[in-house]
Structure 1
Amino acid sequence: MTPNQIKLVQTSFAQVAPIAATAADLFYGRLFEIAPQVRAMFPNDLSEQKKKLMAMLGTAVAGLSHLETLVPAVEALGRRHAGYGVKAQHYASVGSALLWTLERGLGEAFTAEVKDAWATTYIVLSTTMMNAANEKPMAA
């Protein structure tokens, strides 16, 4: 990721943060629309899950400037998600729902450059998560 991409993601997320609840509603609505099979992985009441999503995004976005400290947390998140039954193919739907949500939340501020920066960010984070989820435990 370039410093400019990091800045674009951080600046645009700051615009979404005030509407975090709406953004989370949009995200899960879209995710379950395009990937209804993942709905069973979530609790019926998504209130806490929505807060966790926005908090995790905030942490990840803030940490982009210091990937070396962010990566271990993202790897741990990937391992936890594997335990929930998340498979590699689910990440594409999540990425699609995220970009769709950002487009709705940012409106005209979601330029092609901002979209590219977010797509790059998601690829870096999701690849890190998937790699960690696929790691074999070390033999004792």
Structure 2
Amino acid sequence: MTKDDKQLVRDSWAKVMPISDTAAELFYNRLFELDPSLRPLFTSDMTEQGRKLMGMITVAVNGLDRLDEIIAAVRALGKRHSGYSVTDDHYDTVATALLWTLERGLGDAFTDATRNAWIKTYTLLSTTMKEAAAQPAAA
């Protein structure tokens, strides 16, 4: 990721934060529309789940210049998700729902460059999570 990519992600996320509850609701509605089989994986209150999602994305966005500091947390998140029966295909569906949500939330501010920066960010994070999930548990 370039410095410009990171700035595009930070700037666009700053515009989403004031509408984070709505963005989370849009995201999960779109996610379950794309793949209804994912709904049973979420057993908690969806408002709270949405806030957790927004918080996690905020941590990742704020850590883009310090990836070495957040990588352990991203790996741990990947391990946790493997316990929820999350598959590699689910990560692709999440990417589609996330990009759709960002496009809806940002409107014209969601430029091609911003989309590409988010794709790079999500790919980096999801690849790290998938790699961690694939590792056998420590004995």
C-alpha separation between the residues in 2 aligned to 1:107 and 1:38? 27
Runs of at least 5 residues in structure 2 that lack an aligned partner in the other structure? none
Match of 2:121 in 1: 121
Give the Cα–Cα distance (whole angstroms) in 2 for the partners of residues 66 and 36 of structure 1.
Answer: 35
In the superposition, the TM-score normalised over structure 2's length comes to 0.97
Report the aligned-residue RMSD. Answer: 0.9
Which runs of at least 4 in structure 1 moved beyond 4 Å after TM superposition? none
Q: Which amino acid aligns with 1:59?
A: V
Residues 1:102 and 2:107 are matched in the alignment: no
The unaligned stretches of length 5 or more in structure 1 are: none
Question: Which residue of 2 is the match for residue 134 of structure 1?
Answer: 134
Deviation at 1:62, TM superposition (A): 0.3
Task: Find the residue that maps to 2:63 and give its secondary structure.
Answer: helix
Output the amino acid matched with 1:108: D
- Whole-angstrom distance in 2 between the partners of 1:78 and 1:120: 18
Quote the sequence identity (%): 53
**Which residue of the partner structure matches residue 35 of structure 1?**
35
Aligned-partner Cα distance in 2 for 1:11–1:38: 30
Q: What TM-score does the superposition give when structure 1 sets the normalisation length? A: 0.96
Query: Following the alignment from structure 1 to structure 2, what is the Cα–Cα distance between the partners of residues 105 and 74?
Result: 25
- Structure 1 segment 62-73 matched on structure 2, within 5 A: 62-73=62-73
- Structure 1 residue 138: deviation in Å? 4.1
Partner SS for 2:39: helix
